[in-house]
Chains A and B, each alone.
Chain A
Amino acid sequence: MSHDVDIDHVSMRYPGSQRFAVTDVHVRIKPGEFFSFLGPSGCGKTTLLRLVAGFIEPTQGEIRIDGKDMRGIGPNKRPTAMIFQNLALFPLMTVAENIAFGLEVRGVSAAKRRKRAEALLELVDLPGMAAKKVSDLSGGQRQRVAIARALAVEPAVLLLDEPLSALDLKLRQHMRSELRKIQRRTGVTFIYITHDQGEALNMSDRVGVMSEKGQLEQVAAPDVLYNEPATIFVADFVGENNAFRVSVREQVGDWAVLETPFGMLKGRNPQGLTSGRRATAFVRPEAISVVENSAAADNFVPCTVENLSFEGAFITVVLKAAGDQSFVMRQNNDGSAPRLKAGAKVQIGFRADNTLLLTNGEQSGA
């Protein structure tokens, strides 16, 4: 039932356009996987999905589903089904007719279609809705009908184009777990695209992050993506990060000693940058805390508190260090962290293994 999708060095340039919408994307999506493409708007992720669906053909490269080259095979002949951003339900048909449309096309008898539509409505938790009009459904119900309609044709791969973006926050969160549940129940390979990192990290087995240039920056499991971003773009885009320019003073194995306007720091050096290289160091807001003295942390920066914003479960503190460098620190509101005031002089500390050194240049040893 589940199938793999091999996106083999695919590039896409629309006719008449100078720039590539998708540049050399190379990834193999495993059978039964929930895979997300995450990227800012205009990064070519919708183009990539339409390439897999067959609405457009790649300028370069190959898309294989189950090892079979898809070039020249139209969207109506591919083992994929797509859920559109606006769902694109057929408003003049009933719910059951919508769901059974793919079966009607395949010449399935009316009685069988009806049975299958009812079974699918059961699957998406909408029993007894078969005769309703699409316009009588709520946003979440329409969502489920769209999923049922796509699943009706028993696709090898389900393609989802930001289907949750039109829903309100609460429903969106609910539908996340619903989607995940349906994916597990059916075992179909899901390819999901979104600009919402919460969605991508929350639902996916693996996430591919795409940059504005239409390039695939990194493919990894959600936790790896967050903890071990491979590029500056990923470190910036996924989650919040404090970034600061540094130069490498000394390479020590997988580590490096860094020179900064606010003193020497130590950080991880996965790219094996040698001494003298300019690079960007990243540290997450939740990895920073206020420390009493330099012995309490690997890295130690004197700062002035700029402002605080109270957000309930946590407090976000903006600090300023030497060289006009801002730091954002997140304190848990559990009473353990010292209460700060704007203008106060404090020392912040963070561990060396929470300090990640990256550069956009050539990567060695990565």
Chain B
Amino acid sequence: MRSFWQNAVRIFGPIGLTYISITVGAWLLFMILIPQLIMIDFSMRPLLPLRKIGGPEDIWTLRNYMVLFTNELHRAIFLKTIWSSIIVTSVALAICYPISFYLAKVTRGARLGWLMIGLIIPYWINELLRLFAWQLILADAGILNKLLMLLGFIAEPLNFRAGNSAVIVGMAYAYILFMVFPLYNAMESLDRNQLDAARDLGSSWLRIHWRIVVPHAKPGIAVGCIMTFMLAAGSIAAPQLLGSPSSFWFTEVIYTNFETANWNQGAAYATVLALLCLVFIFVMLRVFRVSLKELAQ
């Protein structure tokens, strides 16, 4: 610890170090720690009329958290959010793995640059606008239905927006970059000769991926899955804009609670969502046998 500070002084100088300590400390304190603590405090208190706040009934309790177990609708939405986020993550992984491999190991030079720009350009547009675009594509009289009818695949327009499929499609699209870049970074550092060597030793492409590429890209896959899952589970715009009334997302339940002035309940659910994401991180680290240190790289 001592050498850590000595090192820091040497690198930044005393003034620089003071500045960095104060700014980082203030950021940690005011932007992360205090808001979280306030939220947890809110989540542990019952919803009371204003005059009773601070009174004998205003005590810490886990009642708000228990609602998740007693309210069947909320519990169902919570589980559905987890499940759907897992599906979003899987779909994004399935789409992004080949894209990342192609970018990292197959193409190079100018074409790689163009493909990268092609991936990034859609993200210059605001997320809401992109979701509205999906709304138009997936609408009953939308482009996709018209195309499918024109090609004769279907006679009647399909209702893409019933259930969760539109939400999942929209999210998988929205979070592609968050999956592609960790995967690309991880795969990029793989020596091409290892692919050649495996092929030369008689391996099929499937086995090369299973034995060489995936083990090498594990940290990237873990990071991509964690980011996508957290973004999906915490998303509110996509389910609101693309979801049907029946496909409520857990974030919408939280939002409704805050809207209806039940901040305590909303804070409890928000804490649960944060905990869920934390659990997911550790599950992913376990599944991929990746340490936190590797993840940081």
Contacts and interface: CB of A to CB of B under 8 A. Distances in A.
Given A92-B215, A92-B216, A105 B193 contact: no
Contact of A76 (B194, B204, B216): B204
A293 to B, nearest CB: 61
Given A88-B194, A92-B215, A105 B203 contact: yes
11 contacts: A55-B196, A75-B200, A76-B203, A82-B200, A84-B197, A86-B193, A88-B193, A88-B196, A90-B198, A105-B204, A105-B207
Nearest to B193: A88
* Secondary structure of the A contact surface, majority rule: loop
Given A90-B212, A92-B215, A74 B199 contact: yes
B156 interface: no
Nearest to A76: B202
A89 to B, nearest CB: 8
Given A86-B193, A90-B194, A76 B212 contact: no
B72 interface: no
Contact of B191 (A54, A76, A88, A149): A88
- Give the one of B198, B201, B202, B211 with max A CB within 10 A: B201
Given A90-B198, A101-B198, 14 more contacts: A55-B200, A75-B199, A88-B191, A90-B197, A90-B212, A92-B215, A101-B201, A101-B203, A102-B201, A105-B203, A105-B204, A150-B201, A152-B201, A153-B202
Nearest to A161: B193
B191 A86 contact: yes
Interface in A90-110: 90, 92, 101-102, 104-106
A31 to B, nearest CB: 21
A80 B202 contact: no
A144 to B, nearest CB: 16
A150 B197 CA distance: 9
A273 interface: no
A152 B211 CA distance: 18
Interface in A114-172: 149-150, 152-153
Contact of B201 (A54, A55, A86, A149): A149
Nearest to A101: B201
Contacts of B197: 82, 84, 88-90
Contacts of B207: 105
A76 B211 CA distance: 15
A219 interface: no
A54 B199 CA distance: 10
A102 B200 CA distance: 9
B194 to A, nearest CB: 5
A82 B203 contact: no
A138 B63 CA distance: 62
B201 A105 contact: yes
A99 B231 CA distance: 43
Nearest to A92: B215
Contacts of A152: 201
A172 B230 CA distance: 53
B200 A76 contact: yes
A81 to B, nearest CB: 6
Contacts of B191: 86, 88
A10 interface: no
A319 interface: no
Interface in B95-120: none
Interface in B179-202: 191, 193-194, 196-202
B145 to A, nearest CB: 41
Contacts of B198: 90, 101
Task: Give the 3 A-B CB pairs with smallest separation, nearest first.
Answer: A88-B193, A102-B201, A88-B197
A147 to B, nearest CB: 13
A84 B196 CA distance: 9
A345 B198 CA distance: 63
A257 interface: no
A357 interface: no
Contacts of B196: 55, 75, 82, 84, 88
Nearest to B207: A105
A82 B202 CA distance: 11
A53 interface: yes
Contacts of B193: 84-86, 88
A211 B201 CA distance: 30
Contact of B199 (A76, A90, A104): A76
A106 B202 CA distance: 8
A105 B203 CA distance: 6
A294 to B, nearest CB: 59
A105 B206 CA distance: 11
Contact of A105 (B194, B202, B215, B216): B202
A16 B215 CA distance: 34
A81 B216 contact: no
Contacts of B203: 76, 101-102, 105
Nearest to A78: B200
Contacts of A104: 211
B191 to A, nearest CB: 6
A51 to B, nearest CB: 13
A53 B200 contact: yes
Contact of A81 (B201, B204, B211): B201
Contacts of B216: 92
Interface string A68-80: 0000001111001
A63 B196 CA distance: 19
